[in-house]
Amino acid sequence: MSSHGGIVWITGLPASGKNTLAAAIGHELASRSVPFEIIDSGKLRETLLGNTLGFTREERDTNCRRNAFVASLLAKNGVVAIVSSVSPYRSTRDALRQEMDGFVEVWVSTPKDVCVDWDPKGLWAKALAGEIRQFTGVDDPYEAPLSPEVEADLSQEAPGEAAIRVVNILEESGAIAVQTQEAEPLPAGFQTAD
């Protein structure tokens, strides 16, 4: 099954389930033999592409643009790039949408209190206690998308179900080929006309 590539931009509060959803989308694409790559913005910050960046608005925008650059290269080569990034500023995401072909915005709208409970690194607790500054959702804003292609509250919807909705959007937009149903095997002894 061929793919023309596309960009799935997953945004949401820290610990909202973005990486979990990215993995579920990847699983769904793999089951359809669609090439994909997951770009975890947090991990990208640990590489030469992002390890000099802090968390000012300008540095967050730069981080988003670096994610977008890598995603665009992948998409141009027939790969579905799945970007998992807080990307808190609406204007930045809207600008990327205008600049990038095949951009599908996915908002993981899991409520803040659930994110605090889910946080595996305890960063929310540290930020709420004032131990971490410039934390999105505490002392830095998160601007929710106004009209994302998909919204998923992962405290109410299974990641696999949300992933199928995202993949359906990729099919509808032509970013990936539409999956066709496999032909049912003929019953034993059934003869076809020649």
Sign of CA dihedral 60, 64, 91, 10: negative
- Ordered DSSP codes for 54-111: -SSHHHHHHHHHHHHHHHHHHHHTT-EEEEE-----HHHHHHHHHHSTTEEEEEE---
What's the rounded Cα separation, in Å, for the pair 69 and 96? Answer: 10
In contact, 150 and 169? CB cutoff 8 Å: yes
Per-state percent for the chain, helix, strand, coil, to nearest 5: 40, 15, 45
Tokens standing for residue 83: 């970007």
Q: Which residues are catalytically annotated?
A: 87
- Which residue is it, tokens 């066709």? 180
In contact, 10 and 22? CB cutoff 8 Å: yes
